Amino acid sequence: MLMTDILPKEAWQALEQEIHERYGLNARVYDDKGFTFTGHTTWVNRLCPAIKAKPAGVSAICSVAHQAMAAEARTTSASVVSECDAGLLKICVPVMVDGVLVGVVGGCGRLLAEGEVDAFLVEKSAGLPEAEVGDLCAGISAMTNDEAETVAAEIAGRVDEILRDFDLRR
């Protein structure tokens, strides 16, 4: 089953935009293989697009975090709130149909609680000079652990609504 069997791509794009506007996250919807498919991109800081512009940054920071968190979500069938290796908040909400992971909905790009960006790791992984990383981090907003868990629960609620509607149509 594909995410587009549940909703058309445009509806997933609308959900990404809603998450971005409501929670201030780089909102993303992924398929079961960890690929984005909507073509929609939102940014809440200047660091994330700089990391994503570097293939090494994507593979060492973004992809690793997503794969690990999506695997946990698949195993537990529960939302996962954690940080990427750069030190930014990441939320993964599983989209499960008949006990099978079909995809993940979530977002990233804010600091978690009193966290901070690991500029040294970003420099080594993405090749961005540490001083530039510091400049790119200016203005990144934070969210408490409780707030992040609440956001994950609200996104999970939206996913549950989508899946209930999908079940009614099947």
Residue identified by tokens 């530039």 is: 132
Q: Which helix (H) or strand (E) holds 29?
A: strand 26-31
Domains of the chain: 3-165 (3.30.450)
Q: Distance between CA 170 and CA 167 in Å, rounded?
A: 5
Other CB atoms within 10 Å distance of the CB of residue 95: 26
The pLDDT score that the predictor gives to residue 113 is 86
Q: What is the mean pLDDT of each run of 10 residues along the chain (170 residues)?
A: 97 98 97 94 96 92 94 96 96 97 97 92 94 94 97 98 94
Exposure string over 73-83, b if 16+ CB within 10 A, otherwise e: bbeeeebbbeb
Q: What is the pLDDT of residue 94?
A: 98
Q: According to the model, what pLDDT value does residue 114 have? A: 84
- Residue 17 CA to residue 157 CA, distance in Å, equals 16
Q: Could you tell me the pTM of the whole model? A: 0.94
